[in-house]
Amino acid sequence: MAFVALAGLLFSASARADGTAILLDLKGALGVATAEYIVGGIEDAEERNANLIIIRMDTPGGLMEPMRDIVKSILASSVPVVTYVSPGGARADSAGTYILLASHVAAMAPTTHLGAATPVSLMGDDSKDDSKPANPFAPRPREGEKRIPRKPKKPRKLMRQILTPNPLFPAVPWIEKS
């Protein structure tokens, strides 16, 4: 289903002679420099009146604040953002899951996965701060659901499952469910 939506967006973007698609690669751990690159790329696409932004992603996750900057930029973008987990074997873990869910279209190559989105300590200890939710968006879990088009009950239910502690979803069943 996501591939059909992706193909439709790509076709509509390329159908016009002046159509422009911007490709941004997010590979590796997510930090401040990566967020600046992605946010800057989205801003550049808007300035250039691009028809589409594609974020090709393979990330184990990373820092929460840079992830929030990327999510805010995607949600505010006037240009549709497609996040594509690729190539085969790639992942959208942790912060990558939230970026994928914030996108207008989420697409995944076969043999990729998303999930494991529970924040972990950078100090290497297993202690848990009970004053913070396991999911950084737990106080507003339905906030991002408004971004999911079509068949609202199934995708929203799936989104809630994804945002629970540490689920992993391979590409094919996730696409079939959505």
Which pLDDT tens digit goes with each residue over 22-58?
Answer: 999 999 999 999 999 999 999 999 999 999 999 999 9
In a domain, 13, yes or no: no
Whole-Å CA distances, 22 to 8, 40, 64, 89, 122: 16, 12, 25, 23, 33
Share of the chain above pLDDT 90, in %: 47
Which pLDDT tens digit goes with each residue over 9-19?
Answer: 444 444 433 67
In a domain, 144, yes or no: yes
CB count within 10 Å of CB 55 equals 23
In a domain, 103, yes or no: yes
* CATH code of residue 109: 3.90.226.10
Look at the chain and report how many structural domains it folds into. Answer: 1
In a domain, 63, yes or no: yes
Lowest-pLDDT choice from 120-129, 131-140, 158-167: 131-140
Instruction: Determine the structural domain holding residue 72 and report its residue range.
Output: 2-8+19-118+129-177
Mean pLDDT of the chain: 75
